[in-house]
Structure 1
Amino acid sequence: MFIKSLKVENFKGFENDANFLEFRLPDGVAGSGLNIFIGENNCGKSTVLEAIDFLRNGTKKDISSLKYKNSNGDQLNHASVEVEFTGKIDNVIDAFSQQNKKLVFKNKIYLCSKGNTYLKLKRTTEDLKVILLWDDASQTFENVSGLDSPLKKLFETNFIWADTNPNDEASFGASTICGFLLSEIAKIHKETNEYEEFSKKFHDVFNSQESELRQKLSVVEDKIKNIFQTQFGSASISFEFEELKIESFFKNSSIMIDDGIKVPMTEKGNGMQRSVALALLQVYAEVVAFDEEQGISKPFYLFIDEPEICLHPKGQQKLFEALLEISKHRQVFVTTHSPYFLSSPYLKNIGLYIFKKSDHKNNIEEAKLNYLFPWSPTWGELNFKAYDLPTVDLHNELYGYLQDKSEKYNENTFEAWLLENHISKNKIWTKEMNGVAKSPYSVTLMTFIRNHIHHPENLTMKSNNYTSEELLLSINQMIGLIEQFKVSSLTEEVDLMNA
């Protein structure tokens, strides 16, 4: 069972129900279940994570902090979050729902035209304790009481926020990465001969009448029994010890780090603590992420807010590789500013979503819209779209792509082609040969910048560099030419079809 889509209305920086995200689903391919949110600060990336957390867990925050406020500071009446699930919903309900709620959930499963099954839920700030279920027949949400707690049994979420204490994730808990990892190992180990021997030894020590401990306890039992029988009547009293669940042995565990001195993880710096916590993800990817093939497992969704915090570049790359592996079978949602998450051959498999703020409202678009290159998306392209950041990387990509499309590979013929496409020569370039300046000549802004990038050794032009505004203008001009190519190609395809 996977999260198919999310819709938020009047939730924090998102004003209306037009804010809709359709997520990527795992299909066994690296990156297929990975959804990455990029964009400037304060444009709603973390809010998407908060919205899903709000649907499952409600909130203890002041409700007013969740409602959208317009530019005048006016607050709208209510906020809501809708989440639509798809996949093997029936199986998940059968395996994990409490008995008296199974039919309630199952009756609201509906089919789409392609035969896929869906279940849609909604929570609003009007009544935090109510989970609304979508009824496809009536095309309305219905108020079904008593689903708040049962919903939590259907799937697990793990949130690692930018301000999460790394020790929390590295500790044993029902909803931590470390907790999930150790629990999975514990479940498997219960079937081993070693654990059977341990279990027998436990009962021999605590419950067998022949054990030394039981003989000491029997003295206490007899004293209690004698007093009880004297004061209250005949009864037999004894201590019995139930074997602890294997998970209980992990609750007092701690992670030790020895980098010369062996100390608890809590005594290390925040960077190392976060690195250890995120290293657990990589182990999780190897040990746990493939249990789909072993039968039904509870859906588990991983949400990481700015995982690059405190990680050096190599660590960021390794973490990204781990997330790619996990996302073959499980959904992962990540907010990031890291270029190491945006420079990968797997980007085409990944869901990329660009967040921007305009007119006091957060806006989202999937990055696959209007890709520039056949090999898109690229690092430079995404930086330009997500952060309005013109880079020399993108300029190089655009210039080379236009040379290839025009089949004009040297400077003179490419400049002539640019003039034919109404790009004027408005800059002066001076070549150098063995450090000797040649005669200056006119070039387009695009070639002027390209030459600066490719010839940093040219000392003559050092004092006549391009500005950031000119870099932006040149990039926009080249994007315009690429769009012309696309229109021309489309026209040719239509003409061929009509011929």
Structure 2
Amino acid sequence: MYIRCVTLENVKSFMGEHRFILQPGVNFFVGDNNSGKSTLLEALLFTFQGPSQTRWTPDSFYCKNGTGRTRVEVDIAGGVEELVKREKFRVLEDFVFEADGEKILRLDRSSENREVLQGKKSRSVDVKGVCFWHPQREQFENVTGIDARVKALFDFEEVWADAHPGDHIDFANNKTLGRLLDSSFQRFVQTELWRNLSDAHKRAFGPDETESFTVETTRLASDLKNLVDEQYGEANYRFDFGLPDANVFMKQGILHVDDGAGETPIGGKGTGMQRAVALGLIQLYARSAALGGAENATPLILMLDEPETWLHPSAQLRLGDALSKIGEKEQVFIVTHSPYLIRKFNSDDHLLTVLTGKGSDRRVDSSTTFGLFGQGEPTWGEINYRAFGVYSVEFHNELFGWVQRHLEALKSNGKAAGNNEIDEFFKQNGVPVDRVWIRTPSLERFDATLPMYVRNSIHHPENHVNAPVSDVDLHESIEYLVRVVESINALP
């Protein structure tokens, strides 16, 4: 089960409606600072968990310049039919409907105070109540008791860029560390040590040992019986203390670290180490049997806000591999500025959303809808160009090579396109011939366009006769090439 799409209406900097398509597995969000990447994750948590006195309050979460309500709508797909067969969620059975060939549940949370006629009763709903779309009655309804249950649809684990990472080294069984420990615990209960512990527990808490705690509590039960019998009626009472399950042990757990300065709990270490440990646990989880193991387990949604912080490039690449592995079983949201994490983007399995600009100038592009070298297949160079305005040598090579392949595809003799032929094509497409390239060792001089000059500089670093290419040159040359490639792609 996964989140299929989310619509934001007047949320923080998102004025009016903005719809985001998501997919199972890994979803990247890249773009400018303050473009709304993290807001999308907050909006999902707002929908499923609801506001509190400190989180998602009107002054911090509602769009200050928006007109009307603040609202978030979410579609859930992939397994909702199985979900509503479970007793806990059977009340949602009539709310499942089909959209785009998938069975979905649609829910929303809104700041609008509304009266909803459900059956013969009118029900008042405000931002504290979550509503589900009823396909027959064509309205959002607040199902009795659903506000608490909706929190159990997914296990959200979020690691925020500005949060204390120690908060996420959590032993709860719905967190990555808790799931790892629970998986280990299931193996542990098969061992001789666990059987010995079970036998010791029976002796300590069973009724047959004269010094057991249960025998001690027999007197307490007898005293309770005497009091209650007089006031209510006769009955017998017995205390029973079963063997603790994994959750009880996990709640007592503490991770200790000894980095040469003495052993201390992880909460006492610096932010850098805590964040490294938290992300290390996520990578262990990617390789563990705990990943997607239990039947009917609540789906985990992993949210990482700038996980590259404190990590060197090679560690970021390894983290990207781990997140891709987790994405095979769970839904993952990654907000990042890291070109190293973006290198792990795979257009076949992942979705990437680029957010640029702010307010009315905001633009949102999905990797399924753009790609200069094939729609739905943006390259690392193009993503960095669109998202961050990075003009890289790699992107220049990709663009130049695309033009070259286009010219060669027009030939019938199978020969490669020469430099003069490529430069003539640039000239025909409005690129000025305003540079001179000097070839070594002959020192011949050739008039050239800027893209050809930059290409020759990249491919002939041994040539020191020509002036080096500046950042401005690379920037201007890539802009020329983007326009040329776009004109090629527009051809019938």
TM-score per shorter chain, which class? 0.7 to 0.9
**Which residue number in structure 2 is paired with residue 429 of structure 1?**
437
The whole-number CA distance in structure 1 between the counterparts of 2:191 and 2:224 is 44
Runs of 5+ consecutive residues of structure 1 not aligned to the other structure: 26-32, 492-499
What is the CA-CA distance between 1:338 and the residue it aligns to? 0.9
**Which residue number in structure 1 is paired with residue 118 of structure 2?**
none
What is the CA-CA distance between 1:102 and the residue it aligns to? 1.6
**Is 1:12–1:65's contact at 8 Å kept on the other side of the alignment?**
yes
Runs of 5+ consecutive residues of structure 2 not aligned to the other structure: 113-125, 409-415
**Is 2:370–2:377's contact at 8 Å kept on the other side of the alignment?**
no
The whole-number CA distance in structure 2 between the counterparts of 1:261 and 1:134 is 57
What is the CA-CA distance between 1:460 and the residue it aligns to? 3.5
Residue number among 67, 88, 103 corresponding to 1:117 in the alignment: 103
Deviation digits for residues 303-327 of structure 1 (CA, Å, limit 9, x no counterpart): 1111111111121111111111111
Correspondence list, 1:130-279, <5 A? 130-187=129-186, 189-190=188-189, 194-214=193-213, 218=216, 240-260=240-260, 263=263, 264-279=265-280
Number of residue pairs matched by the alignment: 464
> 3-state SS of the aligned residue for 2:69?
coil
Residues 272-281 or 410-419, more deviating: 410-419
Change (3 A) 1:204 1:421: same
**Which residue number in structure 1 is paired with residue 81 of structure 2?**
90
The whole-number CA distance in structure 2 between the counterparts of 1:225 and 1:46 is 59
What is the CA-CA distance between 1:134 and the residue it aligns to? 0.9
Give, as a single letter, the amino acid of the residue that structure 2 aligns with 1:179: G
Bigger RCO (CA 8 Å, 6+ sep): 1
> 3-state SS of the aligned residue for 1:210?
coil
Give, as a single letter, the amino acid of the residue that structure 1 aligns with 2:308: E
**Is 2:352–2:367's contact at 8 Å kept on the other side of the alignment?**
yes
Deviation digits for residues 453-476 of structure 1 (CA, Å, limit 9, x no counterpart): 3334443334x64452x4333222
**Is 1:171–1:254's contact at 8 Å kept on the other side of the alignment?**
no
> 3-state SS of the aligned residue for 1:38?
strand
Give, as a single letter, the amino acid of the residue that structure 1 aligns with 2:254: S
Give, as a single letter, the amino acid of the residue that structure 2 aligns with 1:68: C
Change (3 A) 1:373 1:262: farther
Change (3 A) 1:197 1:287: same
Q: How large is the RMSD of aligned CA atoms in angstroms?
A: 3.1
**Which residue number in structure 2 is paired with residue 494 of structure 1?**
none
What is the CA-CA distance between 1:241 and the residue it aligns to? 2.9
**Which residue number in structure 2 is paired with residue 43 of structure 1?**
35
**Is 2:10–2:67's contact at 8 Å kept on the other side of the alignment?**
yes
The whole-number CA distance in structure 2 between the counterparts of 1:397 and 1:486 is 14
The whole-number CA distance in structure 2 between the counterparts of 1:331 and 1:222 is 53
Deviation digits for residues 233-288 of structure 1 (CA, Å, limit 9, x no counterpart): 79988764343222211212122334445523234332222111111112222224
**Is 2:32–2:355's contact at 8 Å kept on the other side of the alignment?**
yes
What is the CA-CA distance between 1:85 and the residue it aligns to? 0.7
The whole-number CA distance in structure 1 between the counterparts of 2:210 and 2:162 is 51
Residue number among 444, 451, 457 corresponding to 1:452 in the alignment: 457
Residue number among 450, 466, 486 corresponding to 1:483 in the alignment: 486
Correspondence list, 1:275-294, <5 A? 275-288=276-289, 290-291=291-292
Change (3 A) 1:211 1:272: farther
What is the CA-CA distance between 1:477 and the residue it aligns to? 1.9
What is the CA-CA distance between 1:424 and the residue it aligns to? 2.6
> 3-state SS of the aligned residue for 1:144?
coil
Deviation digits for residues 20-61 of structure 1 (CA, Å, limit 9, x no counterpart): 111122xxxxxxx11000001100110110011001101223
> 3-state SS of the aligned residue for 2:364?
strand
**Is 2:78–2:104's contact at 8 Å kept on the other side of the alignment?**
yes
**Which residue number in structure 2 is paired with residue 471 of structure 1?**
474
The whole-number CA distance in structure 1 between the counterparts of 2:21 and 2:228 is 70
The whole-number CA distance in structure 1 between the counterparts of 2:23 and 2:221 is 64
